[in-house]
Chain A
Amino acid sequence: MNKIFLVIQREYLTRVKKKSFWILTLLVPILLVALYAIPIYLSLNSLEVTNVAVVDETSMYGDFVSTDDVNYFYYDDTTAAKEALYSDSIDAFVYVPKTISGKLPTDVSVYYYKEAPSASVKSDIEEQLQGMLRNSILVNVYEITPDDYDLITNTSVHMIVEDLETGEKDFVEIKMMIGLILSLLIYMSIFMFGSQVMRGVMEEKTNRIVEVMVSSLRPFQLMMGKVIGVALVGLTQFALWIVLSGGLISAFTMANADKFAGAQTEQITSIATKGQESVDQTAVTMPELSESQEMIQGLMNIQFGTIILSFLIFFVLGYFLYATLFAAVGSITESETDNSQFVLPLTVPLLLSIILMPSMVNAPNGSLAVWLSMIPFTSPVAMMVRLPFGIPIWQVVVSIGILVVTFLISLWVAAKIYRTGILLYGKKITYKELWKWLRFKN
């Protein structure tokens, strides 16, 4: 047993000491936080303000409103605008020429000098022009006020799905998201760490390290030491990801706390001013605010304790099932190129459970989802899809039971293949051959 511990120690330390481990460990939280932080950061700190002049000969586009990124100025004629453009005091100007009376002025030119306006500036100009055009059509042709128009287009129904007895609210979208994230995480980690085991075994075999090792310890100890060592590397990585992402996100939030507060008050004042303009509009935004509160409540209703515990159980069991088989595959192949016939049968069930994920999400208690969450090779992924929706506890227990039994069988099979395969060189191994090894008393 002491020897297994030594193997675990080596497998763990050599991997944790690698640069690639730390790069991945740091990169994932950084990317995750960047995904969350960059849009917020950009919206809080606008980089550059574009000055745009407007020359409106029709007097129909008089309502340009400056935004954080674009400042609008009105000029009387194009000569003044051109001058301003050449002298760099503006970046572009919008020219709406006088048209034949009676026809709607829809031909608009935007002139720039040297540097074309960015896509966001262009779309801002376009949106404002369209809005003003639409409003004038609404008022002049259909005699509808813009506020009435907003009311019509923003009509929405807010639906709450609620348990009749407990009053608990159901949030399918959140459950889907959690299921999606967990199942992808379990899928990727089983694959990543399983193939790490396989590569480790192949390294030992092709470099003839096993020859030296097997006189000191049993092949089974070597295999299990590697499988457990890599599992610990995986769990360490998970823990670091969670701690680092959490730390980075709260650090980012803290660093920008004043800006967040500023942004919030700005939002509130803008809502307040709008509210003064039209009472109806505030009435429309109110349910949206309470919806996000309900989302948070919905998140709280999900039993994260159970889900995290189940995730760990299914990750560990699923990983052990696949890792032992990956170790066996590694022991019978000498190069990455000739192992596809053995790797493929291992990857197909995992891939299948990912491909069938949408169907499972739509019917988390349908027969497909139930069956996939019972079949041991797909159950780790399938269970993660189903778990957030709340499933009968007996199904979880049965699924774990099946997984454990299958793992023990696969361990027996893998150990048999491994001890023979690891010392066999220069022989192409077929399934027929493997079957012989399994039946052969050793």
Chain B
Amino acid sequence: MELLVAEHVEKNYSGYRALDDVSIAASEGRILGLLGPNGAGKTTLIRIINRITAPDKGTVLFCGEPLSQKHVSQIGYLPEERGLYKKMKVGEQAMYLARLKGLSKGDAEQRLRQWFERFEIMGWWNKKVEELSKGMQQKVQFIVTVLHEPKLLIFDEPFSGFDPINANLLKQEILRLKSEGATVLFSTHNMASVEEICDDITLVNKSKVVLSGNVREIRESYRKNIFDIRCCKHGEELTLSSEMEIVQQTTDGDETDLRVRVGNTPSNELLRQLIGQADVLSFQEVLPSMNEIFIEAVTANNQQN
């Protein structure tokens, strides 16, 4: 079931169209990656979902109902540009933000203590925010975002400013929240994290949706029929039939790594031809990375216009 659906959303700023007929759908319990180059309109879309601004055209449905102010309490939003009051104490600040989300004083304090203990940051409670490093502040912000247990979590570039250890901690927390039933909208440029985390993606470029769907299906649809082979050659040369092309070949001692473009030839045919000339150690299809797909889709889209 779709938790959040935006249909044909259009948003104009004075003399500039930020979103043009954009539709996205976030399925319940899945992670949707919202991708796109800078200025594509991602933040505008996220602001519309958060009811910070209203669309000029189109509808946004939350749980099948038109999005309204009451749904805001069921959304947790971690913006890309995020700050805290520098002079406030961490605990006070977290309590304030939690209570603005509608939590009672008691609930807010109890949940905050749980999270602070889980992240092992209880010692920060009475520190001023300005004494914390940027990464530490981000942890606090993450906690405040998810504290009221919203159905929909929106993370805009959540990993920026985190070291690898804390980025990994955050990733595990996001996956844990997903396993507990939360739906996640995840906006990023970091394509490696998309492959690791996202179930579905929507790619936006120049105010329009260029590509959307299941991550695995998209990668398969972008397959170039390229295979990586590791083998021990019998002779000096490997010869393949003319439809197939060896793109790359490196030899290290006995072992040779090959990258072969097979064209329309079935992969079994490649394997059959190789078996006569070498001992095949491994054989794997190379699917394009999300990074390559991103660049390809955006470049193609830019050339069209």
Q: Are the chains A and B members of one assembly?
A: yes
B85 touches A214 (CB 8 A): no
* A284 interfacial by beta-carbon distance below 8 Å: no
Q: Complex formed: what's the CA distance from A425 to B84 in Å?
A: 17
CA distance A134 to B170 in the complex (A): 94
- CB contacts (< 8 Å) of A208 on chain B: these are 79, 81-83
Q: A216–B82 contact, CB under 8 A?
A: no
Q: How far is the CB of B285 from chain A (nearest CB, A)?
A: 42
Query: Can you name the residue of chain A whose Cβ is closest to the Cβ of B46?
Result: A215
Taking CB atoms and an 8 Å cut-off, the chain A residues in 399-442 that contact chain B are 423, 425, 433, 436-437, 440, 442
Size of chain B's interface in residues, with CB distance under 8 A?
A: 26
Binds A, one of B93-101, B116-124, B249-257, B293-301: B93-101
The closest CB in chain B to the CB of A217 belongs to: B100
B158 to chain A, nearest CB (A): 13
Q: Is the CB of A214 within 8 A of B96?
A: no
Taking the complex as formed, is B281 at the interface, i.e. its CB lies under 8 A from any CB of chain A?
Answer: no
* Segment of B30-38, B47-55, B215-223, B271-279 engaged in the interface with chain A: B47-55
Scoring A3, A214, A440 by chain B CB atoms within 10 A of each residue's CB, the highest score goes to A214
Contacts of A120 in B (CB 8 A): none
Question: Which residues in B have their C-beta under 8 angstroms from that of A211?
Answer: 79-83
A229 to chain B, nearest CB (A): 13
Within 8 A of A (CB), among B139-194: 141, 144
Asked if A215 meets B97 with Cβ closer than 8 Å, knowing A207-B85, A423-B47, the reply is no
**Given that A214-B50, A215-B50 are known contacts, is A209 also in contact with B84, CB under 8 Å in the complex?**
yes
Chain A residue numbers with a CB within 8 Å of B47 are 423
Which residues of chain B in 42-84 are interfacial with respect to chain A, using CB atoms and an 8 Å cutoff?
47, 50, 52-54, 72, 75, 77, 79-84
Q: Is the CB of B100 within 8 A of A214?
A: no
Known contacts: A6-B100, A436-B14. The answer to whether A212 contacts B79 by CB under 8 A is yes
Chain B residues, CB < 8 A from A219? 52
A-B pairs under 8 A by CB, number: 61
If over half of B's interface residues share one DSSP class (helix, strand or loop), that class is named, otherwise mixed; here it is: loop
* Chain A 6-42 per-residue mask, 1 if CB under 8 angstroms from chain B, else 0: 1100100010001000000000000000000000000
Given known pairs A10-B96, A440-B14, A442-B54, the reply for A215 and B77 (CB within 8 Å) is yes
CB distance from A148 to the nearest CB of B (A): 72
The reply to whether the CB of B17 lies closer than 8 angstroms to some CB of chain A is: no
Nearest to B53 among chain A residues (CB) is A442
Let me know if B127 is at the binding interface, CB within 8 A: no
B86 at the interface (CB under 8 A from A): yes
Q: Is B87 an interface residue (CB 8 A)?
A: yes
Pick the contact of A6 from B72, B86, B99 — CB < 8 Å? B99
Pairwise interchain contact A207-B50, C-beta atoms closer than 8 A: no
Given A14-B88, A214-B52, A209-B96 contact (CB < 8 Å): no
Q: Are A423 and B52 CB-contacts (below 8 A) given A10-B96, A216-B100, A440-B14?
A: yes
Please report the C-alpha to C-alpha distance between residue A364 and residue B156 in the assembled complex, in whole angstroms.
60
Q: Is the interface of A mostly helix, strand, loop or mixed?
A: helix
Q: Which residues of B contact A3 (CB under 8 A)?
A: 100
B280 CB, min distance to chain A CBs, angstroms: 54
Among B83, B86, B87, contact of A212 (Cβ-Cβ < 8 Å):
B83
Q: Is the CB of A215 within 8 A of B87?
A: no
Docked CA distance A216–B75 (Å): 9
Of all chain A residues, which has the CB nearest B78?
A212
Does residue A254 face the partner (Cβ distance < 8 Å to B)? Answer: no
Interface centre among B47, B54, B87, B96 (most CB of A within 10 A): B96
Selected contact of B101 from candidates A14, A216, A437, CB within 8 Å: A216
| Docked complex Cα distance between A215 and B46 (Å) | 10
Bound Cα distance from A211 to B144, whole angstroms: 13
Task: Provide the residues of chain B in CB contact with A14, threshold 8 Å.
Answer: 85, 87-88
What's the Cα separation between A207 and B85 when bound, in Å?
8
Of the candidates B72, B81, B83, B99, which one forms a contact with A215 in the assembled complex, judged by CB atoms under 8 Å apart?
A: B72
Residue A271 at the chain B interface, CB threshold 8 Å? no
In the assembly, what is the distance between CA of A212 and CA of B14, in Å? 25
Task: Determine if A213 is an interface residue (Cβ-Cβ < 8 Å).
Answer: yes
Task: Pick from A7, A215, A423 the residue with the most CB of B within 10 Å.
Answer: A215
**Considering only CB atoms, which chain A residue lies closest to B12 in the complex?**
A440
Q: Is the CB of B82 within 8 A of A212?
A: yes
- Rounded to whole angstroms, the CA-CA distance of A417 and B185 in the bound complex is 29
> Are the CB atoms of B84 and A215 closer together than 8 Å?
no
B14, B83, B85, B96 interface centre (most CB from chain A within 10 Å): B83
Contacts of A209 in B (CB 8 A): 83-85
Q: Which of chain A's residues have a CB closer than 8 A to the CB of B88? A: 14
Contact of B84 among A212, A436, A442 (CB under 8 A): A212
The chain B residue sitting closest to A433, CB to CB, is B14
Of all chain B residues, which has the CB nearest A3? B100
Q: Which residues does chain B contribute within 8 Å of A212, judged by CB atoms?
A: 77, 79, 82-84, 97, 141, 144
The distance in angstroms between the C-alpha atoms of A217 and B75, with both chains bound, is 12
Set of chain B residues within 8 Å of A18, measured between Cβ atoms: 87
Cα A436 to Cα B12 in complex, Å, equals 13
Q: Using Cβ atoms and an 8 Å threshold, which residues of chain B touch A440?
A: 14
When chains A and B are docked, how far (Å) is the Cα of A3 from the Cα of B73? 12
* Distance in angstroms between the alpha carbons of A373 and B83 in the assembled complex: 43
B83 touches A207 (CB 8 A): yes
Min CB distance B176 to A, Å, is: 22
Give CA–CA (A425, B88) in the complex, Å: 24
Q: Closest chain B residue to A203 by CB distance?
A: B85
A209 to B96, CA, bound (A): 13
Bound complex: CA of A215 vs CA of B77, how far in Å?
7
Q: Which residues of B contact A213 (CB under 8 A)?
A: 97, 100
State whether A207 and B54 are in contact (beta carbons under 8 Å apart), knowing that A212-B141, A217-B100 are contacts in the complex.
no
Give a binary string over A212-226; 1 marks a CB under 8 Å from any B CB, 0 the rest: 111111010000000
For residue B12, give the distance in angstroms from its CB to the closest CB of chain A.
Answer: 9
A18, B88: Cα distance in complex, Å: 11
Closest partner residue, chain B, to A210 (CB atom):
B83
Interface centre among A7, A208, A209 (most CB of B within 10 A): A209
B-to-A contact residues, CB < 8 Å: 14, 47, 50, 52-54, 72, 75, 77, 79-88, 96-97, 99-101, 141, 144
Q: A212-B82, A215-B50 are in contact. List 16 more A-B contacts (CB 8 A).
A: A6-B100, A14-B85, A14-B87, A18-B87, A207-B83, A207-B86, A208-B83, A209-B84, A212-B84, A214-B50, A215-B52, A215-B79, A216-B72, A216-B100, A217-B100, A423-B47
Q: Show 5 A/B contacts (Cβ-Cβ < 8 Å), sorted by A.
A: A14-B88, A212-B83, A215-B75, A219-B52, A423-B52
The 5 closest A-B pairs by CB, nearest first: A207-B83, A208-B83, A211-B79, A215-B77, A208-B81
